[in-house]
Structures are given as structure tokens and as C-alpha cells.
């Protein structure tokens, strides 16, 4: 892409102004008056834009708007690599390792050699029971829910039941199943879900917006489907539009990160990094503009003493324009003039090395700030810190703290929520023990990792000498 240029100057013009293109790498945010807003201002304006009708009671009835623009923050994954790495690390550590705690290995006849695990032991009971209820697998459904949990503070899962009589047809085929049996589990995109408070008793349901412009759907809280339908039938819920179809009302399981910052929704832990993410975007935009529209060569050419003929000036102008655009910088120009009265002056305009160093240092500082807001060890986000903090045993120690202080509490929320919903009298036969999530410590031997990181000889060489790495570091 080349820059936009002014028309060819008149013959008596000595200077041409070359306008550069502005190609934004990221979405800009403007208010209704056209004023530019920073990201933090833009995403939090959503909370104050909602209008709710007062009920005259102790609480406000109606739809509860999100405390900030959830859809905007979900797009951050495509604009900042360190933020995306932190989100992915949290999701993988929280639910990506699966369900079930590792069993102690069974020993063979000699009492020393462990037997290989059975195939049934490698598949958790949760996966066996819930995989048939999902479009792909329960892991494919559960991971996006957890991603919403870490991105906006709340994740939602749809639970499908069909029919209100004694029996109903299964959504999977023509077989008959008892009424109330769960027939499907699906991920609900968090930005499309809103809490709708019905009365002063805090009874509520969920409004589900359609991203494709369809009608708003209303889903009940898990376990409150019959009560929700009774309130709709009795006129206890003031709503516009069509009333829900009793045979097509899903239920919602809400996984909420507790916080005092919002009464109706969870709140993520990383929003203090919004300003840092925007600064990184500004750095990238500045760098992008430099390479895209650098309208100068490595030097500026001044022709003094005499005005060049129009044809000669146009040739020089064409040579200057050839240096504009991505991939055209760092070129030179050769000029051959016959008049002895003309003086040529060169002014070097090469890139300042100091500015490049500042760019790298500033980006590194902002990256560390972003992962700090997330509470993720820098190494898991691809950041190497030199010095004592970057010692060989940093990663094992950081992962231990990460599991204990960040991932463990989140896994407890997921386990308790699943136990209180899918683990109740639903006919699935799942208990709290089945919903225990694997931890990082279960999958990675951190003590062994710490020993290997501080060894002075290769692991293979140590094992050939008969050394047991689980004994720790040598004195």
C-alpha cells in the first residue's frame, strides 16, 4: 500500500507535501459526539448506558446490563499476544487437564515395577456420562465456558430438557426417556447472556440475545424451569414479546467469579491491564505506520542555487515517491545534473537507534505489567526475565504459587457449581468426587522439574549412572 499524494505541483512549486495513509491496526473507540475514548473509558461506559424501570421495592426489576462491554474485551485476544497467552494458560490449567485425580500405580508381581494403566482408568466418569450430551465432547463445551469465566468473569452453560409430561422423545432419536432427563449441554456466549430480575424476592431468569439478529430467548435458572413457567403463566413476569414455549425452555448453569465490583455478574481479575494493552497497541501502530508510510529515503536531498526544469523535478519527485510504502524504505537516489550553479545538499534522516531501543524496552515493561495483572507466571506467557527472578528453579516455584493462589480457587468454583447442578438428582449419577478437576501438580512433577533445572550434568548422563532424580539435588 502506498501513501496518498497531493496532485502534481505546478512548475513554480519547489516543495511537495506528501500525505501518508493512516491504516489503524486496531479498532478505535469514539463516543456519540465523535470524541476519541481510551479503551478503559469505552468498555466501562456500557454500565451506565442502561435504563431500568424502578419497581418501588428494595431492588430494581428488569434486565441487568453488564458492568462493562463484554464483547469488546473478548476481542483483546486478537490484539495482544501476552493477554491471549495468559487467558489460554488459565483455561488449560483450570479445566484443560480434565477430571479425576490420579490413582496410585498398581505394582506388578515383583512389587516394584508398576503396571500400565487400564484404558478405562484413563477416561473420567464425567466424560463417559456427558460426552453423549454434547455436540462434540464435554471438553469442547466446557473449555469455552471457562474461557468466558476468565475473560469477563462469568461463564454460562445451557442445559436442554424437553417435555413436561411423564415421557418425552429424546433429541437424539425416537427413543423414549423420562421427562426432565437432560438431553443436551451447550456453551452460551457470555456477551449474549443477561440476568433479568423478576421481583423483589430476587427470582430471576436469563435473556439470551441472538448475535444474528433473531428474537431474544428466555432461559430459566438451573432447577427453576417449572417455577419460571408458572411465573410466566401467572403474569408474574413483566416482559414484552412472545412468552416462552414450555417445551423449549432451556436452563442455565452460571459459573461466576465472585467479586464486590458487580452485584449481578462476576468480574475478571485482569481489567487493570486494559490501559497497558492499549499502550501496546499504540506502540504497534506507531511501528506499523513507520514501515507502511515512511515517505523519506535514508537522506533528504536539497537542490540549491537554481530551479530545476519541470521534467527534472518530476523525475526526482518520482524517485522520492518510490520510497513510500511497506518494503520500500532504506533506498537511495542518484541525481545527475549538468549545471555548475546547482548545489546539492544531503541531510541524513535514518532511523534513530535510541527510539528502537526505547520501543523494545517499553514493550517488555508493558508485557510484564499485563501478566502481573493476570497473576500468571511470566514464563507461561513467553516472557524471560533475566537475573535472579529468572533463575533455573523459577518456573517450578511459580507454578506452585499459580496453582495454589489462582487456579485452585477457580477449580473449586467449577467443582462446587457442577456438583450443585449436574451432580444433583438429575439421573446422571455424578457426585462431587467425579467433578474434581486435575491440578497442575497432578500432571507435572514439580519436584522432579526443580531437580532437573538445577542439575549440572545432562539428565541422560545422570540416569546412566543410576541416579534417581526423585532424590533431589545432590549436596
**Domain extent listing, the chain:** 1-37+271-374, 39-267, 375-471
Mean pLDDT value across residues 168-187: 63
Task: Tell me the whole-structure pTM to 2 decimals.
Answer: 0.74
d(CA 220, CA 253): 9
Which residue is listed with cell 430459566? 220
Three-class SS state of 370: helix
Say if residue 57's pLDDT is above 90: no
CA 113 to chain centre: 44
Instruction: Provide the pLDDT for residue 165.
Output: 43
Q: How confident is the model at residue 319 (pLDDT cuts 50, 70, 90)?
A: confident
Contacts of 445 (CB under 8 A, 6+ apart): 470
d(CA 194, CA 66): 7
What beta strand segments (E) does 119-200 contain? Answer: 154-160, 167-169, 176-178, 184-188, 193-197
Q: Which of 229, 152, 227 is nearest to 193 (CA)?
A: 152
Mean pLDDT value across residues 213-228: 88
Tens-place pLDDT, residues 339-376: 777 887 877 776 665 666 777 888 889 999 999 999 99
Instruction: Provide the pLDDT for residue 135.
Output: 93
d(CA 316, CA 180): 81
Tens-place pLDDT, residues 38-52: 766 667 664 444 444
Tens-place pLDDT, residues 70-126: 998 998 998 899 999 999 999 999 999 999 876 666 655 655 566 666 655 568 999
Spatial contact of 1 and 21, defined as CB atoms under 8 Å apart = yes
Considering only residues 413 and 57, tell me which one the structure prediction assigns the higher pLDDT: 413
Instruction: Provide the pLDDT for residue 5.
Output: 44
Mean pLDDT value across residues 13-27: 57
Instruction: Provide the pLDDT for residue 54.
Output: 40
Mean pLDDT value across residues 299-313: 79
Distances (CA, A) of 237 to 196, 206, 233: 10, 12, 9
Residue 54 phi/psi, 5° resolution? Answer: -75, 145
SS3 content of the chain, % helix, strand, coil (to 5): 40, 15, 45
Residue 196, exposed/middle/buried by CB under 10 A (0-12, 13-18, 19+)?
buried
Considering only residues 105 and 207, tell me which one the structure prediction assigns the higher pLDDT: 207
Amino acid at each position: 500500500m502506498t501513501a496518498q499524494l497531493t496532485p502534481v505541483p505546478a512548475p513554480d512549486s519547489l516543495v511537495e507535501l506528501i500525505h501518508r495513509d493512516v491504516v489503524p491496526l486496531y479498532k478505535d473507540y469514539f463516543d456519540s459526539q465523535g470524541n476519541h475514548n481510551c479503551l478503559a473509558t469505552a468498555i466501562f461506559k456500557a454500565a451506565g448506558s442502561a435504563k431500568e424501570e424502578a419497581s418501588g421495592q428494595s431492588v430494581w426489576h428488569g434486565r441487568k446490563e453488564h458492568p462493562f462491554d463484554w464483547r469488546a474485551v473478548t476481542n483483546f485476544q486478537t490484539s495482544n499476544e501476552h493477554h491471549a497467552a495468559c487467558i489460554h494458560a488459565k483455561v488449560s490449567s483450570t479445566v484443560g487437564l480434565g477430571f479425576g485425580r490420579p490413582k496410585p500405580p498398581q505394582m506388578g508381581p515383583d512389587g516394584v515395577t508398576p503396571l500400565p494403566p487400564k484404558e478405562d482408568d484413563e477416561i473420567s466418569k464425567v466424560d463417559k456420562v456427558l460426552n453423549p450430551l454434547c455436540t462434540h465432547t464435554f471438553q469442547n463445551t466446557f473449555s469455552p465456558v471457562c474461557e468466558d469465566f476468565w475473560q469477563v468473569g462469568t461463564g454460562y452453560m445451557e442445559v436442554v430438557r424437553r417435555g413436561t409430561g411423564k415421557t418425552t422423545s429424546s433429541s437424539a432419536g425416537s427413543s423414549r426417556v423420562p421427562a426432565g432427563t437432560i438431553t443436551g449441554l451447550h456453551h452460551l456466549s457470555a456477551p449474549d447472556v443477561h440476568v433479568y430480575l423478576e421481583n423483589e424476592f430476587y427470582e430471576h431468569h436469563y435473556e439470551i440475545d441472538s448475535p444474528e439478529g433473531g428474537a431474544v430467548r428466555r432461559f430459566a435458572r438451573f432447577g427453576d424451569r417449572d417455577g419460571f413457567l408458572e411465573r410466566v403463566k401467572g403474569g408474574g413476569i413483566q416482559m414484552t414479546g412472545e412468552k416462552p414455549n414450555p417445551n423449549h425452555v432451556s436452563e442455565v448453569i452460571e459459573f461466576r467469579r465472585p467479586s464486590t465490583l458487580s452485584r449481578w455478574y462476576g468480574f475478571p481479575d485482569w481489567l487493570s491491564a486494559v490501559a497497558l494493552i492499549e499502550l501496546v497497541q499504540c506502540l504497534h501502530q506507531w511501528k506499523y505506520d513507520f514501515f507502511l508510510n515512511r515517505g523519506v529515503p535514508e537522506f533528504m536531498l536539497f537542490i540549491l542555487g537554481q530551479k530545476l526544469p519541470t521534467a527534472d523535478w518530476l523525475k526526482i519527485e518520482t524517485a522520492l515517491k518510490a520510497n513510500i510504502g511497506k518494503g520500500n524504505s532504506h533506498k537511495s537516489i542518484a541525481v545527475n545534473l549538468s549545471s555548475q550553479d546547482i548545489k546539492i545538499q544531503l541531510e541524513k534522516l535514518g532511523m534513530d537507534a535510541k527510539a528502537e531501543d526505547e520501543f523494545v524496552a517499553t514493550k517488555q515493561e508493558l508485557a510484564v505489567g499485563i501478566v502481573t495483572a493476570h497473576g500468571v507466571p511470566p514464563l507461561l506467557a513467553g516472557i524471560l526475565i533475566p537475573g535472579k527472578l529468572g533463575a533455573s528453579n523459577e518456573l517450578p516455584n511459580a507454578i506452585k504459587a499459580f496453582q495454589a493462589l489462582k487456579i485452585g480457587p477457580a477449580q473449586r468454583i467449577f467443582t462446587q457449581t457442577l456438583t450443585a447442578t449436574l451432580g444433583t438428582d438429575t439421573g446422571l449419577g455424578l457426585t462431587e468426587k467425579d467433578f474434581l478437576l486435575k491440578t497442575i501438580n497432578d500432571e507435572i512433577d514439580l519436584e522432579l522439574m526443580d531437580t532437573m533445572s538445577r542439575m549440572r550434568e545432562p539428565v541422560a548422563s545422570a540416569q546412566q549412572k543410576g541416579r534417581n532424580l526423585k532424590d533431589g539435588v545432590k549436596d
